[in-house]
Structures are given as structure tokens and as C-alpha cells.
Amino acid sequence: MKQYFDLKENIEEKNIEEAGKGIQKGELVLFPTETVYGIGANGLEKQAVKRIFVAKGRKQDNPLILHIADMEMLEQIAQNITTLEYKLMEAFWPGPFTIILERKPNVPDIVTGGLNTVGIRMPSNLVAQKLISYAKVPIAAPSANISGRPSGTNIQDIFEELSDKVDYIIDGGQCEIGLESTVVRVIKEEVHILRPGKITKEQIQKIAEKVVIDNHILGDLKPNEPVLSPGMKYKHYAPKAKCMLIYSKENNKLVEEIKERAKEYENPLIVCHHHNINQYENAKVMDIGETLEEISKNTFKVLRKVDSYHPDIVMIEGVEKEGIGLAVMNRLLRACEHHYIEI
């Protein structure tokens, strides 16, 4: 790392301008967005984008999202956009919403993993917006983490992992949402949700008649099964410890089930809702929050911390798969490698 900019309290334009110039020169910038931190590079330069894949150890066929600051940038990289696609962008941009569109030829293959489509998002975070504007190019930015690890939602969590791999770090404090963007693709007027996020099915249904949640969001994937989004294939968010996700609509049942199962282990760690922190006397507990907003914000932070307790099992209390709860459960299921019990 050449420069660390602390913009937690004040947004220093000249710092963002410097990092934007870095992007133009092909350098890597770790920066905040409203969802999670991103590792950004010039999205139109093959060599710059290549550095992201090396830094993360990311598989080459897993495409990156291009982040834009305005609709002019959209027209540089996407074509044959339909009315419905424009409506969706108008409704959810700037914000935690990514849309897969037909790409223009100037988008390098390395960004799209060789697909003829490209994922595009206009973030609402002010630092992210300004960085893209100063860079004057779409910024390719995957989540800030080594591939397979939980995404970074604050600089402390990822400093050790990534500080020697990037040129600039912009610290914007804790990310507001804490889970990655909702990813959609429109196929024949149907909106397919490929990754759930803060923008929910219910919100999208106000814009589009048909909204489909892709099967793979909650189901486990069979080897070589075809997918609409390459990212679905890869192991993600998993702590080193063995993890188990448990859910019941009834809180008493949930607590009893976890207590029973915890007896089988020597050093269990229970990740629980705030209201359950005093329920598990014979186990270590971590509080994941109370409201769905708190839980989504804390999910990756908690997943990054569980290994420091050296547990022989991590039992995680699930949430209802509704609204942003679907996104929380999608990330937790993957962290637990689909080791899931619903009672």
C-alpha cells in the first residue's frame, strides 16, 4: 500500500482525486460502498483488471461488476438495453442493485469472464461515486476479500488480508448495508434474481410483473450444473470452523434444538440474536444483532471473527427468508456449506 486515506469523518476531495488518478494509471484502490468494500481498478484496462484477480486469487471465469457514476458511462459499456431494464435502473440506482446487460465490445473479456454480458451497478455511497467520477472510467470492483473468505465491511477486518495487495486504501468506516448488491438479469421480460441483497423481490415486483428467484440461491449446487451467474459455483464466506445453520419460526424450539445439539461438542460457539444471548449457559456466544438490518450489517463481521474462538462447532441462528432475510440466509447457507436444519 502506498497511501491510506482516513475519510471516516470528513470526505477529503483531494484524497479521492489522487486515488482516482491511481485508477487511471492502472493501480488498485480499496474503497467503501454502501454494500461492502470493493477492490477497484480501471474496468476498461485488461492489465489493471488482471491485478484484481491476482490480489484476490479469484477464478478467471467469475466475472466482475463494473461500477459507474452516471448514465453516460452506462452507454459506453452496455447495448440493446430494453425499456424494462431502464425502468429497473431508474428505480434502484444509485443503490445496491446490479443488472446484467449485453456488453459493448470495449469491455475486456477478463471483466466478463468471456461472457457477452456485463454486470453493472451505480453505487450510492458518496466516496464511491466521487472515486468513479475522478477516475473517469467504470471501476471494476469485486468484494474486498481473498476469494472464499467473507466480504470486508470495514477496513480493520481486511487490513491484514489485503493491505499489501493494493496501492490505495480509502477508509470510509463501517459499510451501511453489509451484504453485497442484489444481482438481476432480465430474460424475456422476466427478472431473475441471481444474488439476493438489500433490494428485495417485493421491491422489484413493483416495477416488473414477473420476478423469479433463481433456484441456486437457497439450494445446493450439483457438480457441473449450469448456472446463470458463475459466482454461484464457488465456495464463499466460509470460516475455517465447521458451521451449522439452524432455524425455527418459534424461538423456544430454536433455542432448545441448539442446546441439545451443542451438548455433543466440547467447545461450541453459538451465533445468536441479541434476545437470545443469555439462553446458552454452557457455550460461548456471539451477538449478531436484533433487527434484520443489524443482522445483515454484522453477518460478515461475525463470520470473520468466529475462528478466533477456536470452536469445534459454530451454530448459527437463522432468520426468516423474507425481505433482506433472504440475502442473509443465502450468505449464511454458503458459509455453512448448506449444513442447514429447519425445525
Q: 64 contacts which partner out of ligand AMP, Mg ion, none, CB within 5 to 8 A by kind?
A: ligand AMP
All 3 cell numbers of residue 240? 475455517
Q: For the chain, give the secondary structure using H, E and C.
A: CCEEEECCCCCCHHHHHHHHHHHHCCCCEEECCCCCCEEEEECCCHHHHHHHHHHHCCCCCCCCEEECCCHHHHHHHEECCCHHHHHHHHHHCCCCEEEEEEECCCCCHHHHCCCCEEEEECCCCHHHHHHHHHHCCCEECCECCCCCCCCCCCHHHHHHHHCCCCCEEEECCCCCCCCCCEEEEEECCEEEEEECCCCCHHHHHCCCCEEEECHHHCCCCCCCCCCCCHHHHCCCCCCCCCEEEEECCCHHHHHHHHHHHHCCCCCEEEEEEHHHCCCCCCCEEEEEECCHHHHHHHHHHHHHHHHHHCCCEEEEECCCCCCCHHHHHHHHHHHCCCCEEEC
**Residue 86 C-beta: closest distance to ligand AMP, Å:** 18
- For ligand AMP, the closer of residues 100 and 191 by Cβ is 100
Task: Name the residue number minimizing CB distance to Mg ion.
Answer: 143
**Residue 186 C-beta: closest distance to ligand AMP, Å:** 12
- For Mg ion, the closer of residues 130 and 165 by Cβ is 165
Q: 100 contacts which partner out of Mg ion, ligand AMP, none, CB within 5 to 8 A by kind?
A: ligand AMP
- For Mg ion, the closer of residues 112 and 143 by Cβ is 143
Degrees, nearest 5: CA angle 161-165-170? 85
Q: How far apart are CA 171 and CA 36, in angstroms?
A: 12
Q: 296 contacts which partner out of ligand AMP, Mg ion, none, CB within 5 to 8 A by kind?
A: none
Position 64 contacts ligand AMP (CB under 6 A): yes
Contacting ligand AMP (CB under 6 A), which of 142, 196, 289, 318?
142
Size of the site for Mg ion (CB under 5 A): 1
- For ligand AMP, the closer of residues 129 and 143 by Cβ is 143
Contacts (CB under 5 A) with Mg ion, residues 122-151: 143
**Residue 151 C-beta: closest distance to Mg ion, Å:** 5
Position 98 contacts Mg ion (CB under 5 A): no
Q: How far apart are CA 307 and CA 309, in angstroms?
A: 5
Q: How far apart are CA 143 and CA 181, in angstroms?
A: 10
Contacting ligand AMP (CB under 6 A), which of 1, 159, 208, 230?
230
- For ligand AMP, the closer of residues 15 and 181 by Cβ is 181
The position carrying cell 476498461 is 44
Contacting ligand AMP (CB under 6 A), which of 32, 119, 150, 172?
119
Position 318 contacts ligand AMP (CB under 6 A): no
Q: 118 contacts which partner out of Mg ion, ligand AMP, none, CB within 5 to 8 A by kind?
A: ligand AMP
Site string for ligand AMP, 160-189 (x = CB under 6 A): --------------------x--x------
Site string for ligand AMP, 87-116 (x = CB under 6 A): -------------x-----------x--x-
**Residue 236 C-beta: closest distance to ligand AMP, Å:** 8
Interface with ligand AMP (CB under 6 A): 62-65, 100, 112, 115, 117-119, 142-143, 180, 183, 194-195, 229-231
